[in-house]
Amino acid sequence: MQHTTIKLHDGLIRGSVEKGIRVFKGIPYAKAPVGDLRWKPPVKPDPWTDTLDATKYASAAWQLGTESKLFIGEIIDQSGFGFLKRTFAKCFMNLASVVQKRKQSEDCLYLNIRAPAQNMGASFPVMVWIHGGDHQDGTGSGFPYETDSFSHEGVILVTINYRLGVFGYLCHQDLSLESGNGTSGNYGTLDQIAALQWIQENIQEFGGDPNQVTIFGESAGGESVAHMLTSPLADGLFARAIIQSGANSGQMHHQKESVLGHESGELRGKRFADNFTSSPNQMDALRRVPASEIMAHIRSEDDFELRSFFPVIDGYILPMSPFESFRQGKQSNVPLLVGSNSDEGSLFAPHIPIPLIEYRGLEPVSYTHLTLPTKA
């Protein structure tokens, strides 16, 4: 294997050269969010002295995995799709689930870079992929991101991991009190912002142009792009954006208010913590519980409100619904491309009645229910 070495602010990294493309895997953009750093904003990594091996992917974030696969499989069976379409959807889902069986860990804040062969004086545009998976599953490593297409077009591709589910989006009053800004949850969103900050500081070492960064994502990744567009903490970290099937960008979850049948994030977090400890300092106690034990409990949980955790409107990281932010013209002033995958809505919507909601500030003002025609 041919290797290539680059000097970053934090130290040397060694990647590989594959078919003329420079590939770097498992680059840390933040410290491992474990122990006292669990449910806290990401912290910059410490510099290293030895050359960092960037030829292997790092662990994926803890995620639901098999349970999500069974849930989606049941939806596919009831979708009304024809035999061939159902078979194709399940085959792709099975392939993705095999790839995602890589090791899972809280130590997951890494990114991967595929760059064209270095040309002296080159300054390549950069595209940053934020993966989907309902904020509960997924990874930026491996299939289907091992592509040569971007590099052959003179583009640097960056894919990122970020915290998911309970480790990425748990709200709790204790966490809000210790934060210094009265908020909790959205740790996965802060991870995405930290990755973009790392790219701004380091991408030039790979031949990239920090002024030509495009963020793009699909499903929960598309929703995350909407969050980057509307979070003041992400302003100035990218030049363009692409939202693909970011259907839930209306944001139906709120840190402190119960909305449309969803408990407030803090109330949900309190109920979740009650399953583990009755200590008056619940978060201190919960930070000592092994991640594997927390995930085992979640995977056996029947209550959706205590099983899945999502980004919340907190008034700080996400000041308001992306819908409302765009309506008020408060989003980042960058070119935006929006699209939707064929049949994605028809797959889910008949089985999960999803209201469309708009927020004015932090208060819901109106919503309507979707009614989809049944297929003949």
Q: 49 in a domain, yes or no?
A: yes
Look up the domain containing 273 and give its range: 2-65+100-369
Rounded to whole angstroms, the Cα distance separating 237 from 170 reads 25
* Residue 152's CATH number: 3.40.50.1820
Compute the residue count for the chain.
Answer: 376
Rounded to whole angstroms, the Cα distance separating 331 from 230 reads 5
Q: 322 in a domain, yes or no?
A: yes
Q: 244 in a domain, yes or no?
A: yes
- Quick one: pLDDT at residue 71? 52
- Quick one: pLDDT at residue 278? 86
- Quick one: pLDDT at residue 366? 41
Burial code (b: 16+ CB inside 10 Å, e: under 16) for 140-172 equals bbbeebbeeebbeeebbbbbbbbbbbbbbbbbb
Rounded to whole angstroms, the Cα distance separating 221 from 21 reads 26
Q: 94 in a domain, yes or no?
A: no
- Quick one: pLDDT at residue 341? 81
**Which residues does the chain have with pLDDT short of 50?**
67, 99, 351, 353-376
For 294-317, the DSSP string reads: HHHHHHT---GGGT-----B-SSS
Rounded to whole angstroms, the Cα distance separating 32 from 110 reads 9
Q: 87 in a domain, yes or no?
A: no
Q: 86 in a domain, yes or no?
A: no
Rounded to whole angstroms, the Cα distance separating 347 from 141 reads 26
Q: 93 in a domain, yes or no?
A: no
**For residue 212, which of 194, 199, 228, 230 has the smallest C-alpha distance?**
199
Q: What is the pTM of this model?
A: 0.86
Q: 79 in a domain, yes or no?
A: no
Chain segment 226-272, per-residue pLDDT in tens: 999 999 999 999 999 999 988 665 567 888 888 766 779 999 999 99
Domain count, the chain: 1
| Contact present, 158 and 131 (Cβ < 8 Å) | no
